[in-house]
Structures are given as structure tokens and as C-alpha cells.
Structure 1
Amino acid sequence: MSHNRRARRAPQEEEDASKLKFGEDFEGEEFLFISEVHLLLQKTPEHQKNTPVYQKTAKYVELFTKFHNEESVREIRKTLMRHKLHKYELVQLANLCCDEVEEAKSLIPRKVKNSK
């Protein structure tokens, strides 16, 4: 008789970033700017930098990072947090750095609260 070692979970609601629905793995977690990941990777000890995952991640964030020092990253986060944004929306705004409000609205759908 075979025993299934994995615990069975109840079906979860489908994840959908456009509706700001994320899985339970993201509950209570912080979303990072690409620039924050870049800064964290710079602090990685040399002996941990030789993995394929590290190399691919470092290459990606180097290409797409917008802010290169901790002070500017801190200020961008502080400024965006003044607005009533979901943490996903906040990070998308920082990562995309849209030139126009309409561009941001088209790329980052906002979850509209029911007014009932």
C-alpha cells in the first residue's frame, strides 16, 4: 500500500494579479522593487554568487533596475507609500517608472472597492 506523503490542501481561489489576488504564500510578505533586489544581491557573499540562479537574477536586475542607491530606493518607497496603494501596485509603479498617468493606469489595473 502506497502512502501519499504530501498533505492535501483545500482548493485555493485562483491567483490573479490584475485583481490583486495572490496566493497564501504572499500573505503578509513584502513585495520588492527590482532596485531593492539589486541592492540585496550586491550584499551577497562572493562564495554564493557562482550559482546559475544568482547569475540570471543579477543579470536581470542589472538590466532593469531604475534606482542605484539605498537612499533613492528608500525615498521612492516612502513617497509611494503615502498613497493608498496595494503593495503590488506600489512596486509596479516603482519598477515601471511610467512617464504618464494614463500609461500607469493601463499597465497597472487598480482594484476598485465596491461603494455599496
Structure 2
Amino acid sequence: MSNTRRGRKPPQEEEDASKLKFGEDFQAEEFLFISEVALLLAKTPESQKNTSVYQKTAEYVNLFTKFHNEESVRELRKTLLRHKLEKYELVQLANLCCDDVEEAKSLIPSLCKRPDEEIRSILDDIGQLRKFQT
């Protein structure tokens, strides 16, 4: 007799973002920057903006978005993709916009496997894009 009862799925391996281990639901999915969500919400037809979910989501992204125009958001994704980051790391770096390497490594533990100089370069790229967004 198997360890699982009829209809039950076997226990899955525990998710752990610090080890870049996510559930199977996330394997084939792309993660969005908060700034990308803000751009999508801005394109929502007025007739669909009256829900509480829309209002709460818009309020959240407006509070935390760091990049405010489509060109800078597109350039940010393109720049971060060049660094060959895991998709989770890429999105967290874009959303958090850390100021220094230690902050980035403490908030995104999977970055600890990368050299500090590489992380510094990524943070500098993000900082430059924030500084010069139009």
C-alpha cells in the first residue's frame, strides 16, 4: 500500500526562496516588476477600475513602484537580463532597488553565491536607470 491515500498528492518539497526553490506552479511563469504591474494597471479600461481588488492593487503599486515610464521599465528588464540572474533575483532587485551589496544579499539570500563586485555592478546599473529615467 502506498504512503498516500486515495486522492491526496504526495507532500511536495518545501519552497525556499533563499535557495531559489519554488513550487511547480511557478516553474514556467514569469515574474513581473511592481513597475510593470503599474504600467498594466494604467492600461486598464475605466469601466474595470471600480473593483476593490483593482483599487487596492493600484494603491500598492503606486506606493512601491520605482520606475514610472514604459521605456525605463523596458530598459531595466533588458539590463537585468544581461546579468544572467535567476528570474526571482531579477525581479527582487528591480522591486527593492537596494543601495548596497550587503543590503541586497540580506534581502535576497540567493545572491550570496555571486561575487560582491558583480552585485555592485548590477546595483550600479539599476541606480543609473533610476537616475536617468525620463
Normalising by the residue count of structure 2, what TM-score does the alignment of the two structures yield?
0.74
Q: Does 1:89 align with 2:89?
A: yes
**Number of residues of Structure 1 aligned to a counterpart in Structure 2:** 107
Between stretches 19-28 and 56-65, larger displacement belongs to 19-28
> Aligned partner of 1:70: which letter?
E
Report the alpha carbon displacement of residue 74 of structure 1 after superposing the two structures with TM. Answer: 0.8
> Which secondary structure state, in structure 1, belongs to the residue aligned with residue 109 of structure 2?
coil
Mapped to 2, the partners of 1:8 and 1:43 lie a distance apart of: 41
User: Structure 1, residues 18-66: CA drift from partner, whole Å, max 9, x if none?
Assistant: 1111111111100000000000001111111111111110000000000
Please name the residue that 2:20 is paired with: 20
Report the alpha carbon displacement of residue 100 of structure 1 after superposing the two structures with TM. Answer: 1.0
Q: Does 1:80 align with 2:80?
A: yes
Report the alpha carbon displacement of residue 90 of structure 1 after superposing the two structures with TM. Answer: 0.4
> Which secondary structure state, in structure 1, belongs to the residue aligned with residue 105 of structure 2?
helix
User: Structure 1, residues 57-95: CA drift from partner, whole Å, max 9, x if none?
Assistant: 000000000001111001111111111211000000000
Please name the residue that 1:3 is paired with: none
Please name the residue that 1:41 is paired with: 41
Please name the residue that 1:71 is paired with: 71
Report the alpha carbon displacement of residue 105 of structure 1 after superposing the two structures with TM. Answer: 1.2
Mapped to 1, the partners of 2:29 and 2:85 lie a distance apart of: 15
Mapped to 2, the partners of 1:40 and 1:49 lie a distance apart of: 12
Q: Which has the higher helix share?
A: 2
Q: Which has the higher contact order (CA 8 A, sep 6+)?
A: 1
Mapped to 2, the partners of 1:99 and 1:36 lie a distance apart of: 21
Identity percentage of aligned residues: 83
Please name the residue that 1:108 is paired with: 108
> Which secondary structure state, in structure 2, belongs to the residue aligned with residue 56 of structure 1?
helix
- Structure 2: gaps of 5 or more residues: 1-6, 114-134
